[in-house]
Amino acid sequence: MTHNKILRCALLAALLIPCLAEAGVYRWKDASGRVHYSDQPPPANVRVEEKAMKGSSIEQDKQPYAVRKASEAFPVVLYTVESCPGCEAGRSYLSARKIPFTEKKITTAEVRDEAAKLLGSKEVSAPFIVIGGKVHKGWLESEWATALDSAGYPAGKAK
């Protein structure tokens, strides 16, 4: 085979592997009790157990590389309270930008103390966001956008 043909075959195989990996696997026993595994359905008179395959044994993260990289270096934590328009706006903004974040609702004394320590005050107000350890008080879209951009999160299109 020529180098070109080998390259074409390798490319075709690489394109087909994900399709094959998504196929179901059937597990069934025959009349003598032997267990069979197949990607083809067994005979009609056999009880079937179908298992869905998940791509490969190594799950792949669905987030873009830039987002994974930024979230490892600068994780985002959103502190919120109930009935808070700014909290809802901040949550919506992060979701629209597809920023992975942890939301901590300030409903217990433990979370309230944690928030007070981060804010450096006994008074706790929400929302506020922590990006890689740096606190940004209040909801101000332009400030959050600048901080997230600086942390390496893709700009995206927030609504």
Which CATH number is 92's domain given? 3.40.30.10
Calpha distance 39→50 (Å, rounded) = 9
What domain count does the chain have? Answer: 2
* Model confidence at 141: pLDDT above 80: yes
83 and 143, same structural domain? Answer: yes
71 and 10, same structural domain? Answer: no
**For the chain, percent of residues with pLDDT exceeding 90:** 53
56-71: per-residue pLDDT in tens? 434 445 788 889 899 9
Residue 59 lies in a domain: no
24 and 88, same structural domain? Answer: no
Its domain, for residue 25, covers 3-52
84 and 38, same structural domain? Answer: no
pTM exceeds 0.85 for this model? no
Residue 32 lies in a domain: yes
118 and 72, same structural domain? Answer: yes
Residues 3-24, buried b or exposed e (16+ Cβ, 10 A)? eeeeeeeeeeeeeeeeeeeeee
78 and 48, same structural domain? Answer: no
How much is the average pLDDT of 135-141?
95
70 and 13, same structural domain? Answer: no
Residue 60 lies in a domain: no
22-37: per-residue pLDDT in tens? 456 667 677 777 877 7
40 and 85, same structural domain? Answer: no
Which strand ranges, in their side-by-side order, compose the sheet holding 134-137?
101-105, 76-80, 128-131, 134-137
For the chain, the average pLDDT equals 81
Residue 57 lies in a domain: no
Q: Give residue 152's region: left, alpha or beta (phi > 0; psi -120 to 50).
A: left
75 and 45, same structural domain? Answer: no
- Of the three residues 11, 29, 52, the one that is the final residue of a domain is 52
